[in-house]
Chain A
């Protein structure tokens, strides 16, 4: 059974810092990996989708990498802003149509 772990569970950084969020998964035979953002009490916003054949994807200040063989992905956020404060969720698709999610990393960017 696929398990997804996100470390750390919570992170607090001062505005302007670059930061990395980590995601690991147990079954490396994945089709793709997707990073989401979730604001309190809200739905999920898709940030980046990386197919299994890709190594990384970039969107603005966000860069996500994928190392399928080691079962790891990282989300890099450059020049963090208070508006980046949210919970970031990693999800993988392996062996079925389902996405398996981690519990998320709660990010606080302090002005």
Chain B
């Protein structure tokens, strides 16, 4: 597609439930990033994929969070046993190549609300 696509745009769930958030990067982009943004804050890094592998998952807050990118394109962020503190905007970004110089392009985000 023309831009980074994220689904769903909004997700409301109950505490303890399992959630999946999907990201479809710009076609041909090999690098993919997940960020989380709380209200009034800047986005915070969660995980970075180069191709199919997670090159850096140091931002994942705990083992309830997991992300995959099995074919090197679409990625899914998975959250188990959701907690109210997980409520945030989850942003996905892609760049043409990995490394440290590429421009990141973000999607519209998935707003997660845990009741």
Contacts and interface: CB of A to CB of B under 8 A. Distances in A.
Contacts of B41: 103
Interface stretch (B12-20, B43-51, B66-74, B80-88): B43-51
Given A93-B100, A97-B98, A99-B45, A46 B40 contact: no
A103 B104 contact: no
Given A99-B45, A101-B42, 13 more contacts: A34-B104, A41-B111, A43-B6, A43-B91, A43-B107, A46-B105, A46-B106, A96-B100, A97-B99, A97-B100, A98-B59, A101-B44, A103-B40
Most buried by A among B45, B59, B100: B100
Interface string A2-35: 0010000000000000000000000000011010
Interface of A: 4, 31-32, 34, 36, 41-46, 49, 51, 89, 91, 93, 96-104
B109 interface: yes
A37 to B, nearest CB: 10
Q: Which of B4, B43, B45, B106 has the most CB of A within 10 A?
A: B43
A98 B48 contact: yes
Contacts, number: 62
A43 B108 contact: yes
Contacts of A42: 108-109
Contact of B91 (A4, A31, A44, A93): A44
A101 B111 contact: no
B55 interface: yes
Given A97-B55, A103-B42, A34 B103 contact: yes
A57 to B, nearest CB: 11
Contacts of A96: 56, 100
